[in-house]
Amino acid sequence: MRIFIKNKIMSLRGSSTATDDSGAPVYQIVGKVFSITRKKRICSLNGFTLYTVRNKFFNFFFHKAIIKDGDGNKVAYVRNTFSFRNKYKVSGYHDEITIDGEFLSFNMTIAKNGTPIGMIHRDFNLVRDCFILDSDDENMPFLVALVIAIDNIVDDTNNS
């Protein structure tokens, strides 16, 4: 399944759209107005919160995002690593998840327990960012939350 996650052009809350190949909405991604930690909720189409993503308030060397489930329980931490590659480490999740890209590449591979389960491609244009997520994993909402966490970390890194 391929999902396109696009930041909205004009949004005070930092909301995004998640659509499939045909342009039909798959998930709602709702940001919070004036959120210092860039808090965003990944919701089903009927408005039920599946995951919440927010940045950690204080970052020293690495930028970190926290993913919580719909009940508010911490599910995982995502952080960038000190590397010339696009590399992120996911901790606290019941499976070992790594996100690894090549030097100056906008393609990243998501691996669960060492086995590739998806690809993220970051597409830039002058107006907004777009992430393309390709995966057949059964937990697609969590993978969308990972993409939102990476976007938050990149935005936090660029603004600090």
Instruction: Write the DSSP string, 97-152.
Output: EEEEEEET-SEEEEEETTEEEEEEEEEE-SS-EEEEEEE--TTHHHHHHHHHHHHH
Sign of CA dihedral 151, 75, 98, 87: positive
157 contact partners, CB below 8 Å, separation of at least 6:
63, 80
- pLDDT, tens digit, for every residue of 89-112? 899 888 899 999 876 667 899 999
The pTM score is: 0.84
Tokens 């936090």 belong to: 156
Confirm if 18 and 144 have CB atoms less than 8 A apart: yes
Going by pLDDT thresholds of 50, 70 and 90, the confidence category of residue 47 is: confident
Please state, rounded to an integer, the average pLDDT across all residues of the chain: 81
Q: Where are the domains of the chain?
A: 2-159
Say what the pLDDT of residue 25 is: 93
- % of the chain with per-residue pLDDT over 70: 75
Buried b (16+ CB within 10 A) or exposed e, 31-44: bbeeeeebbbbbbe
CATH among 3.40.50.1010, 2.40.40.20, 3.30.70.60, 2.40.160.200 for 2-159: 2.40.160.200
- pLDDT, tens digit, for every residue of 70-88? 999 999 999 887 666 678 8
Nearest to 106 by CA among 45, 73, 150: 150
